[in-house]
Amino acid sequence: MSRIQNAIIGSVRTAIGWVPAQWLPGGTPDPLIGRNAVIGRQASRLDGPLKVAGKARFAAEIAMDRLSYAALAHSPITRGRITRLDTSAAEAAPGVILVLTHRNMPRLNPLPLISITDLGAVGNSNLPIMQDQVIRYNGQVVALVVAETQEQADHAASLLEIDYAAEEARTSFHDAKATARVPASILIEKNHLSVGDAERELERSAHHVDEVYRTPGQNHNAIEPHAVTVAWEGEALLIHDATQMIAASANAIGKLFGLKKGQVRVVSPFVGGGFGGKGLWDHQIVAVAAARLIGRPLRLALTREGVYRIIGGRTPAEQRVAIGADPEGTFTALVHTGYSIMPPYGACPEQYTLGSRALYRSKSFEVVQRHLDLDIVPNTFMRAPGEAIGSFALESAIDELAHSMAIDPIELRLRNLPERHPTTGVPFSQHALGQAYRDGMKRFGWERRSATPGMRREGEWLIGMGCATGSFPYARMPGANIRLTLRRDSSATLSCSAQEMGMGTATVQTQHAADRLGLPLDAITFELGDSALPAAPFAGGSSQTASLAGAVVAAADKLAGELLRLAGNDSPLAGLRAGQVRLAEGSVVSIDDPNRRESYGSILSRAAREEITVAAAGSPPIEFLKFAIHSTSAVFCELRVSTVTGEIRVDRLLGSFDCGTILNPKTATSQLKGGMIMGLGLALTEETLFDERKGRIMNASLADYHLPTHLDVPAIDVIWTGIPDPRTPLGARGIGEIGITGVAAAVANAVFNATGQRIRDLPITLDKLW
Amino acid sequence: MAIRINGAEVEAPEDARVSLLDLLRERVHLTGTKVGCNQGACGACTVLVDGERVLSCLTLAAQVDGRSVTTIEGLAEAEALHPLQAAFIDHDGFQCGYCTPGQICAAAAMLAEVAAGAPSYVTADLTAERVPLTREEIRERMSGNLCRCGAHNGIVDAILQVAAERAA
């Protein structure tokens, strides 16, 4: 996140700008685009039968002999020191095996923070973990109690006697603004972007809007709380974890505990929802340390409150968006600045301005993010970090500008769509936001919207429509490895440490492999969820599908070469090189002369081989340095607002997406809807209430933090352009996060259309309306 | 006395603090019943006690002594899928699968409640003998079961399909 990083990435981009596109990954479109058979099919998820029968085993559900149970104790103060610690009553309680505090916790280094440039670094916090008596945030882990049963551990934890000396803590968002930091970069982007003189352009623009938008903290609230079941056998460590980063966690934990590579195995075949929150935090570390001390397997499942206390969520933010436009509505200035929390010991910059750099043309730009340092559990990546809330500010502001100019808000957006990336000038790989809008308008019946707010009324209800743009960048991660075994019976197994949290990881990669290898779906097995398998990148940044797809491409290419070698001179394929064949219909086939072919079974039989195994890694993902690769969406909302109570009921929600090839319409629809529903929560109900006097989260429960429930969720409509991206594996771009983007603004804009009330402070609860 | 769990007799635990949820998960190893909040706010731990839905996290194991508990593992006969389980797969009524057993158990009991004529907050005619099973009725009656992946539409579709099959 430094100036050096800016310089390096800047020069790599410049260099790659000169390299012909066809030399790079994605330089020529994936040949599978357009000739897929299984990809694009409505396949039910392959792990469905296990999940509906309750047979999918999650991390806290692994039975072990002599298993012990642990409970955590958390600090009730925000900053200070432990002055007295009496563990005797807890230790004397029935069934207690160990009370672990800073006194007897093994001395460990801090975890290296998650880093874009070091993919082995996965810490969400680099604070010491139970290493001293210092309290650095409210909820920090101060003790772990291990007992024979969970009931005994919970009871004993309540017997701990701990006194604290509290010191003044930094807990006020507003006060921290005076000492805000301006980081040099935001992820891999240079933070401060200044094109022209945006403030002057704003002043002299014919029309302008200049407002501040506030969003509260939010928590991921996966229904499965974080949990780990740990067992040591000598120096070998087995961790059943609920994690989005299997291979990287195994590496990081191994380093921390001084183990050799291969001595740590992290197993996580099912994760009960992640959304960015299921990474490496303090609980895994204390559980591993405690299990080693007692020489027994140990289970630590966080309570729901525990999740709030030690797993960070999305930061609150305060964003200023100002847009200037000429009389035709062409943007002359786009200003997007703001404040969010990022303590120095955290890793997530909440990149809320990234969308504003990529969506619209403007004569001038002024974009910068400022970080606040509070004493708080470090915030982390939560579904569409940055874009989820950044799009609320930007897309509300555009709606405000359109209203003040009496232009249709879609028309205003279409007038400012860019031909190339508006701030880097790099060409888009593919970009059809305009089509997404036009398709969406038609489908939604946008013409029924009244341009004047407050005009549609049914009984006590005011009805309104709104729309907004969503966006999310493409990412493919380096370090995606796959092992591919093809057998004589034309079955194949692909293996890697990838993660399944509900995205349908194995399902779509099985579909992919079926097409890539020219085999039927049921001939393919896709193994994942285990660090003993070849390392795959983490699941995050909507990147996993593309990353794995890139590795499958590499493995299939390598397999083709190996099969040609095995086929030898007695094959119809004799003399062909790897680039001259493709894999289709269970055979290696000459591209130029499809009659020249030999089946896998025939090649392997002649070579007297039962099977052949290749291992490969995806190519370096430098396609996104040459091209601007973004998914975009147009989100439409119709809702009712009660004139009596102010309650809001969303009746219709449509997402029209331009996000590349849809690999499995059934699971993709679910994932996009899932994002949109989280967007409804962001818009209307979700808020982590932070007591600025005490520095404590006040609503650390699912009773007091309001997720959308069934009654809050209307039937949601999802459509897509389906245009493949010529620069990505399979033409796909990743869909895990774009669903949530744009939704909050679409809702807020619909509320304005219904009532004439502009709410710039999420969530839009009824007290803010009348 | 004993607790009947999916047809098998299980002794009530000696430790009176053990919840039905923890009995199922940690002692009988029926881990299909999930823990999401342990305070009755999320519905992930929903099971059937004598055919009615209860939150097993708020139920002490001792309370169900002498009663019959059905969990997701016991909903269907042997290895077959219950019609709701099959419909959840057809309509993609889940993603991560963690809230799913609770959703399915709740749905099974909810359909029985509707069949018995029990009205809900959104029922227009409280005196009607038969409650029409609309999307809104299902949404209201399933609102005690949270889903964070956002499979709500598929869940409602799955339940509607099963209800339609039964009515046919």
pLDDT in tens, B142-165: 999 999 999 999 999 999 999 999
- In this predicted structure, what is the pLDDT of residue A15? 76
pTM: 0.97
Query: What number is the average pLDDT over the span A115-126?
Result: 82
B39–A674 CB contact, under 8 Å = no
- In this predicted structure, what is the pLDDT of residue A8? 76
Cis ω for the linkage preceding A763 (within 30 of 0): yes
- In this predicted structure, what is the pLDDT of residue A632? 98
Band (A188; pLDDT cuts 50, 70, 90):
confident
Q: Which of B33, B73, B97 sits opposite A502 (nearest CB)?
A: B97
**Residue A63 and residue A65: Cα distance in Å, rounded?**
7
- A584-639 pLDDT, tens digit each: 999 999 999 999 999 999 999 999 999 999 999 999 998 888 899 999 999 999 99
**Residue B3 and residue A672: Cα distance in Å, rounded?**
43
Sign of CA dihedral A110, A115, A121, A124: positive
Query: What number is the average pLDDT over the span A521-544?
Result: 97
**Residue A319 and residue A302: Cα distance in Å, rounded?**
33
B41–A703 CB contact, under 8 Å = yes
Average pLDDT for chain A? 96
Number of residues that this document lists for chain B: 168
Check if the beta carbon of residue A67 is closer than 8 Å to that of residue A695.
no
- Strands A456-458, A207-215: pairing kind: unpaired
Q: What angle do CA A612, A618, A623 make, to 5 degrees?
A: 150
Band (A17; pLDDT cuts 50, 70, 90):
confident
Sign of CA dihedral B102, B107, B112, B116: positive
Which amino acid does the sequence have at A402?
A
| CB neighbours of residue A370 within 10 Å | 18
Q: In which order are the strands placed within the sheet that holds A68-74?
A: A96-100, A141-147, A68-74, A298-301, A227-233, A236-241, A264-267
Distances (CA, A) of A286 to A70, A301, A556, A617, B80: 10, 12, 42, 34, 42
Q: Inform me whether the C-beta atom of residue B74 falls under 8 Å from chain A C-beta atoms.
A: no
State both tokens at A134: 């210092």
Q: Give contacts of B156 with chain A, Cβ < 8 Å.
A: 710, 715
Cα-Cα-Cα-Cα dihedral of B134, B136, B137, B143, to 10°? Answer: 150
- In this predicted structure, what is the pLDDT of residue B128? 87
**Residue A694 and residue A77: Cα distance in Å, rounded?**
8
Q: Give contacts of A60 with chain B, Cβ < 8 Å.
A: 25, 35
Check if the beta carbon of residue A265 is closer than 8 Å to that of residue A254.
no
Chosen from A41, A51, A55, A66 to mutate, greatest number of chain B CBs within 10 A? A51
Contacts of residue A273, Cβ cutoff 8 Å, sequence gap at least 6: A220, A222, A223, A224, A501, A502, B95, B96, B98, B148, B149
- In this predicted structure, what is the pLDDT of residue A378? 97
- B111-124 pLDDT, tens digit each: 999 999 999 999 99
Q: What angle do CA A672, A677, A679 make, to 5 degrees?
A: 95
Q: Which of B95, B135, B139 sits opposite A671 (nearest CB)?
A: B95
A710–B94 CB contact, under 8 Å = no
pLDDT at residue A2 above 70? no
Band (A241; pLDDT cuts 50, 70, 90):
very high
| CB neighbours of residue A43 within 10 Å | 20
Give the lowest-confidence range in A118-122, A468-472, A680-684.
A118-122
**Residue A563 and residue A571: Cα distance in Å, rounded?**
11
- A325-342 pLDDT, tens digit each: 999 999 999 999 999 999
Over A636-683, what HEC string results?
Answer: EEEEEEECCCCCEEEEEEEEEEECECCCCHHHHHHHHHHHHHHHHHHH
Closest chain A C-alpha to B90 CA, distance in angstroms: 7
State both tokens at A677: 């529903």
User: DSSP character for A349?
Assistant: -
pLDDT at residue A113 above 70? yes
- In this predicted structure, what is the pLDDT of residue A770? 84
Query: What number is the average pLDDT over the span A205-214?
Result: 98
**Residue A599 and residue B42: Cα distance in Å, rounded?**
53
**Residue A146 and residue A297: Cα distance in Å, rounded?**
11
Check if the beta carbon of residue B94 is closer than 8 Å to that of residue B100.
yes
- In this predicted structure, what is the pLDDT of residue A16? 73
Band (A760; pLDDT cuts 50, 70, 90):
very high
DSSP labels, A455-492: -EEETTEEEEEEEEEEEEE----S--EEEEEEETTS-E
Q: Which of A44, A60, A673 sits opposite B150 (nearest CB)?
A: A673
